[in-house]
Structure 1
Amino acid sequence: MTKASGFGAVSCPCCGGAMTRDMLDALLRQAREQGYELPSERAWHSPSPIIDPHAHMISRTTQDYEAMAAAGVVAVIEPAFWLGQPRTNAGSYLDYLSTILGFERFRASQFGLRHYCTVGLNPKEANNEALAEAVMELLPDFMLKEGVVALGELGYDEQTPLEDRYLRAQIELAKEGDLPILIHTPHRDKKRGTLRTMEVLAEHGFPARACVVDHNNEETVESVLERGYWAAFSIYPQTKMGKARMVEIVRRYGADRIIVNSACDWGVSDPLAVPKTAALMRERGIPEEAIRKAVYGNALAVYGLNGEMREEHWRDGAVIDQRELHAGNSVLRGGQAPRIERAQSVFDDAGRA
């Protein structure tokens, strides 16, 4: 391991030779398995449970799942979105949705997390009319599947007529299926796009109590809260929302209808953004009740509306059995020893977190 890779040399305690990143990772993993609590885990581990309600885990590693569980994350929600490049046909959408409902749900369980998802046609790909029409035919079946807690991410990207058409069509679909909605607000011209989205939702009579408006910042939060929507914030390096800014938003507006997420994906992002933000809130004097709402209770309230996501799923601690298979596949490779254990519950005997 060299300084060019961002690290200084670390000497092996046995022979004094330089340790590689793989060697260090193996040593840290063994320490965790033996019950040692590492300093970074002490700093970020939450005394109450955490839900990350926006995490694109299909693009993350098993080590991310392990780190999230160690930091107190009990459940994740994976919103359907684009892959970083345009899909070319509806079959790729079918396989993608099947994966986040199937293997990814299984993969999370192998490391102690409950996994849920949202399904939908994202605004970027709504501009491909042929693809959009084909995906709209798929969605009614996927909406009914186990683990689906909302329709999303829906909304605007460039705020085109096609984006508007399919946003409206999916709002009506969510109404028919009695599902909450997760809204993606545009990265460009965000305030106008956010206000326009809420106007469309109101035109269609969609209840604000069942709608999460995500990727908020200081210029949108007040408008979203005033209209009764859940206001979600993505804690993302250098963009979207930072941890310190998030603390100040909770200090100013309180935690009612505020939701914190990582939006971690295939880009530069942090799957531990939610526990790190909770730790900073705690350090800067935000009351524990408010922290719990922002990183757990509010997400459970809205995404639990259709009954697919319930606290009882993780109350007694996750059962981890890495001997299990999904469609004949394991998360392990030849020679790796399976974990078989019940993770410790974050709740006390009286059922309090």
Structure 2
Amino acid sequence: MNTNNMMFIDPHIHMTSRTTDDYARMRQAGIVAIIEPAFWLGQPRTEVGSFKDYYSSLVGWERFRASQFGIRHYCTIGLNSKEANNEELAEQVMELLPLFVYKEGVVGIGEIGYDDQTAAEDKYYRLQLELAKEVNMPVQIHTPHRDKKAGTIRSMEVCIEHGIDPGMVIVDHNNEETVKDTLDRGFWAAFTIYPNSKMGNERMAEIVKQYGTERIMINSAADWGISDPLSVPKTAALMLQRGISQEDVRMVCYQNALTAFGQSGQIKESDWLEPMKVDQTAKFSDNSVLRGGQTPVVGDASTGSDLTDIIVK
């Protein structure tokens, strides 16, 4: 079976790290909407202005760049756990966050949580949970790579301690070790499909067979490391091949992400079901996705349309 005519949402993908060609290929593969969480950039930021410009790009340039290929771009805004350990800078970022969480297209606070599970990480995680309560936004949690099970449970326990409804929290980077604990506590369980690490798509198919589709979603988290921005549609195709129904695939590759982040009031299905016009003659801050000699595409990029001219071959 194939995924023709299926729509997908990638609810965790770092497009700042990807090329414009990736947007074209993602749209061709059926991805209609994405959510880009704020995260660290591989090396420490040293000035609060760097955060301000980064957050501005998430609600500005990246939304524009995605739209040039018929994809709706949303984001979550937060102080990443790794960067919370620079407390002097973290204090300044906390003052910055309220300026961005109300921006158009912001669907949650994230990705936040623990990395090394330090006291500073705990402090700023809790402060951001309080911000999420204040603005009534979903929370997107980054679970630690080390001591994952304990860190995942701790992340959820702190949410409950702060009075956060588990149904408003997307716990990301789950695996076989954490999924039952996450689901049993009523949280959303997100899985990152990474080549050769984290969660492979064959393992993901087995998890869906075992646990079903309730409160489960998948993403690519594609960033500047070895990753694949087509992980969601590729995993969908594999699940269909493994006998998982098309409706179940739709739930974990589309509907659950829409339901969870839709609680923000900032993302709804009608955003992309209406015919979306692509106009590559448009510019953002006097910048175009095109380079010298490239012909702009102007046309309909709605589901089922012929995108041949938009895709980079």
One-letter identity of the residue aligned with 1:129: E
TM-fit CA distance, 1:335:
2.0
- 1:153 Cα offset (Å): 0.5
What is the match of residue 36 of structure 2? 78
Flag the structure with more relative contact order, 1 or 2, with Cα contacts below 8 A and sequence separation at least 6.
Answer: 2
Q: State the TM-score, normalized to the length of structure 2.
A: 0.96
Q: Which protein is bigger by CA-based radius of gyration?
A: 1
Paired residues in the alignment total 305
**C-alpha spacing 1:339/1:306, structure 2 compared with 1 (3 Å):** same
Q: In structure 2, what is the Cα distance between the partners aligned to 1:66 and 1:78?
A: 17
| Selected match of 2:83 from 125, 128, 143 | 125
Partner of 2:58: 100
Which residue of the partner structure matches residue 309 of structure 1? 267
The alpha carbon displacement at 1:318 in A equals 2.3
Q: What CA distance in whole angstroms lies between the structure 2 residues aligned with 1:201 and 1:307?
A: 21
Alpha-carbon displacement from aligned partner over 1:134-184 (angstroms, at most 9, x marks no partner)? 000000110010000000001000000000000000000000001000000
Give the structure 2 partner of residue 248 of structure 1.
Answer: 206
SS state of the match for residue 332, structure 1? Answer: coil
State whether residues 2 and 240 of structure 2, in contact with CA within 8 Å, keep that contact through their aligned partners in structure 1. no
Instruction: Extract unaligned runs of 5+ from structure 2.
Output: 306-313
Specify which of 244, 249, 258 is matched with residue 216 of structure 2: 258
Looking at structure 2, the residues matched to 158 and 346 of structure 1 have their Cα atoms a distance apart, in angstroms, of 45
Does the C-alpha gap of structure 1 residues 339 and 120 become closer, same or farther in structure 2, counting only changes over 3 Å? same
The SS at the match of 2:159 is: helix
Asked if residue 89 in structure 1 is aligned to residue 47 in structure 2, the reply is yes
> Given the superposition, is the C-alpha separation of residues 230 and 70 from structure 1 closer, same or farther in structure 2, using an over 3 Å criterion?
same
Per the alignment, residue 10 of structure 1 pairs with none
SS of the equivalent of 1:139 reads helix
Identity of aligned residues (%): 60
Following the alignment from structure 2 to structure 1, what is the Cα–Cα distance between the partners of residues 2 and 223? 20
Q: Which runs of 4 or more aligned residues in structure 1 lie more than 3 Å from their structure 2 counterparts after TM superposition? A: 43-46
SS of corresponding position for 1:314: helix
Letter in 1 for 2:136: D
Query: How far 1:307 sits from its partner (Å)?
Result: 1.3
Residue 346 of structure 1: CA displacement?
5.2
1:66-97 Cα offsets, whole Å, 9 max, x none, are: 11001000001000000001110111000000
> 8 Å contact 1:117–1:148 — kept in the other structure?
yes
Structure 1 unaligned spans of 5+:
1-42, 348-353
TM-score in terms of structure 1 length: 0.85
Aligned residue among 175, 181, 195 for 1:217: 175
How far has the Cα of 1:216 moved from its partner? 0.2
From 323, 340, 344, give the equivalent of 2:298: 340
Alignment of 1:1-353 (within 5 A): 45-345=3-303
